[in-house]
Chain A
Amino acid sequence: MTALDSLLAALGSLRANPLRTALTTLGIVIGVAAVIAMVAVGSGAERRMDQVIQSLGSNILIVLNGTSVSGGVRGGAGSVISLTEDDARALEEEVDAIAVAAPSIRGAGQLILGNANWYSTIYGVTPGYLRARDWVVARGRAMTAADERGAAKVALVGTTLVERLFAGGDPIGRSIRIKRVPFTVIGVLGKKGQTPFGSDQDDVVFLPLSTAKKRVLGGARVRGRHVGAITIKAASAAEIAAAERQATELLRLRHRIQPGQPDDFFVRNVAQMLEARAESERTMAFLLAAVAAVSLVVGGIGIMNIMLVSVTERTREIGLRMAVGARGLDILIQFVTESVMLSLLGGLVGVALGIGASMLAAEAAGWPLVFSPWSVGLAIGFSAFVGVFFGYYPALKASRLDPIEALRYE
């Protein structure tokens, strides 16, 4: 019998019992869908992690102003302004595990170009900030220490601004007004895209920290040498924990906090936060793997059961096939083909279901849909294996029937 004959024969007998076929494949459908979803969850989470790291910069710690406690009532983050530019310098110079410590302040405001305007996020930053966040200048030049010292009225703009405010034209050398102060655009920031949480990182303008504080964002709260945040880049991934510990110690010392008293700042360890999240996603993937394994086994047993029933029902047919010249191997192949088709059918439906589920999960969890062809291959391979493994015994039983007894079977 040719392979095509076997396929056609198997299809024919599966079509003869559509409902039975559908019910039998259910376990495989669920198992394969779980495999697909598992891989999608795993790699989607991973991809988002990469994105976060890429958009925040690698090996990052963020130090924020702390909370005040007055009369037992705790304020929110930043209710006490304690961080200063000198803290940043001390961190960078005194802690070996820290490569860069860049102070910054953040605000928002109207940017005006001729009669166009755009509301955007405004950062006051030092040259170190770009290095800390692995942020490049795509065109033009970066800020320099001289810009910072001289409180130069220069600005770096994000790509969204180039599109919105400059209508796609070349912004370099042009002048924009922020709070009535004219700034000369000296460069365009490289594109970062959206944060994993959906905000546009390219909708920003960077000013020198000194200029921003004096002319644009200065106010009652962030006065003198104070800053909104310090972005720390650890010297390496391995030194993040050390950097966090030593930064905390140094800041407590500089802020003269007595032992036993709470910090007046927060250190956010981005990698750690991501790690916690990745952990829960791994648990999820593990659960899915368990569901997949159980469903595939249960599905396989279902297939085996149905194939045993089918062999019994078709004993006479088997006898006849043998009488006209089928060898044991022909019968074996016929029934294994049938069970493989059965489980592959389940596999295909499962792949479709799994892709659908992954899309929903990606939508809900807000990570990019990572659809990997190899997971489909894996799932199909699994289901084919289940078909062979669980179909083999019934097929072997069929192939070993005695032709005369099979022909006589009622």
Chain B
Amino acid sequence: MSAPLIETRGLGRDYQVGGHLVRALAGLDVRIERGEFVAVMGPSGSGKSTCMHLLGCLDTPTAGSYRFDDSDVSRLRRDALADTRNRKIGFVFQSFNLLARATARHNVELPLMYAALGRAERRAKASAALAAVGLDDRAHHMPTQLSGGQMQRVGIARAIVNDPLLLLADEPTGALDSRTGAGIMALFQDLNVRGITIVVVTHEAGVARFARRVLRFRDGRLVADEPPP
């Protein structure tokens, strides 16, 4: 078996707020293998999002080290981080974060634009990603013409269009009703079966059940690493 996709040592992130030091995340040691489906749980303010930002190369740690896909990314500069995000990581957001003035397909093509892909290739990959989330017939719809669940599917299509190694989702079902949310989680399971490593933050035990491993955080620390309930 190859090296783990994610390996952190003493990973930490401090914030300086008005003279106070806020330990958003401290001493995180975690390994995630390729192909895993992990849920992250914990009370509000426990450091889940902070952890996701670090794992997703959106943020740089103030302590510890982070190896991702066999390279140390904890000391990379902004541009190198951007390239890593572009080529290897997909994000799914609670509030979808779609461009309001662009069609579903244009939204999905966005990461490919920064990967400098040609028009035809972009089109083909975006269509394939939309098909994978079951939205091939909505390619020309604007976000306002889509339901919440459909918008999140567009968000997922955008996250997977670059064939990432890692898919990170911070409360992807938080803005959806439970049935729609279950549909989204089933889609994640599908993608996981196809080989994408997935880490999902959630508050709902029902959602966490889709994963095969649950990380529990409290006060910025990892307190439990266990199978789902």
A16 interface contact, C-beta 8 A: yes
Residues of A within 8 A of B91 (CB): 323-324
Residues of B within 8 A of A404 (CB): 53, 58-59
With A and B bound together, what is the CA distance between A319 and B99 in angstroms?
11
With A and B bound together, what is the CA distance between A42 and B171 in angstroms?
67
In the assembled complex, the CB of A163 is this many whole angstroms from the nearest CB of chain B, namely 63
Residues of A within 8 A of B113 (CB): 1-2, 5
Q: Mark A378-410, 1 if CB is under 8 A from B, else 0.
A: 000000000000000000000000011001000
- From A147-155, A282-290, A326-334, the one touching the partner chain is A326-334
In the assembled complex, the CB of B121 is this many whole angstroms from the nearest CB of chain A, namely 12
Main secondary structure of the interface of A (DSSP, over half): helix
When the two chains form the complex, which single residue of A2, A5, A16, A323 contacts B58, counting CB atoms closer than 8 Å?
A323
With A and B bound together, what is the CA distance between A320 and B158 in angstroms?
11
Instruction: Determine if A324 and B101 form an interchain contact, defined as CB atoms under 8 angstroms apart.
Output: no
With A and B bound together, what is the CA distance between A77 and B67 in angstroms?
101
Instruction: Determine if A1 and B114 form an interchain contact, defined as CB atoms under 8 angstroms apart.
Output: yes
B78 interface contact, C-beta 8 A: yes
Residues of B within 8 A of A328 (CB): 78-79, 82
With A and B bound together, what is the CA distance between A2 and B101 in angstroms?
20
Residues of A within 8 A of B111 (CB): 324-325
B116 interface contact, C-beta 8 A: yes
B86 interface contact, C-beta 8 A: yes
A316 interface contact, C-beta 8 A: yes
> Which residue of chain A is the closest to B155 with respect to CB atoms?
A320
Instruction: Determine if A325 and B82 form an interchain contact, defined as CB atoms under 8 angstroms apart.
Output: yes
B224 interface contact, C-beta 8 A: no
Instruction: Determine if B114 and A327 form an interchain contact, defined as CB atoms under 8 angstroms apart.
Output: yes
Instruction: Determine if A317 and B114 form an interchain contact, defined as CB atoms under 8 angstroms apart.
Output: no
With A and B bound together, what is the CA distance between A324 and B78 in angstroms?
13
Count, chain B residues at interface, CB 8 A:
25
With A and B bound together, what is the CA distance between A336 and B198 in angstroms?
37
Interface residues of B in 61-91 (CB under 8 A from A): 78-79, 82-83, 85-87, 91
B115 interface contact, C-beta 8 A: yes
> Which residue of chain B is the closest to A400 with respect to CB atoms?
B78
With A and B bound together, what is the CA distance between A315 and B99 in angstroms?
12
Residues of B within 8 A of A323 (CB): 56, 58, 85, 91, 97
B110 interface contact, C-beta 8 A: yes
Q: Take A317-B99, A320-B97 as given contacts and tell me if A325 and B83 are in contact as well, using a CB distance cutoff of 8 Å.
A: yes
A321 interface contact, C-beta 8 A: yes
Residues of B within 8 A of A320 (CB): 97, 99, 110
Instruction: Determine if B110 and A13 form an interchain contact, defined as CB atoms under 8 angstroms apart.
Output: no
With A and B bound together, what is the CA distance between A316 and B93 in angstroms?
12
Instruction: Determine if A324 and B79 form an interchain contact, defined as CB atoms under 8 angstroms apart.
Output: no
With A and B bound together, what is the CA distance between A329 and B116 in angstroms?
14
Residues of A within 8 A of B79 (CB): 327-329
Instruction: Determine if A2 and B82 form an interchain contact, defined as CB atoms under 8 angstroms apart.
Output: no
* A to B CB contacts below 8 Å, 27 in the list: A1-B113, A2-B116, A13-B101, A16-B101, A316-B97, A320-B110, A322-B82, A324-B86, A324-B91, A324-B110, A324-B111, A324-B114, A325-B82, A325-B83, A325-B86, A325-B87, A325-B114, A325-B115, A326-B86, A327-B78, A327-B79, A327-B82, A327-B114, A328-B78, A328-B82, A403-B59, A407-B97
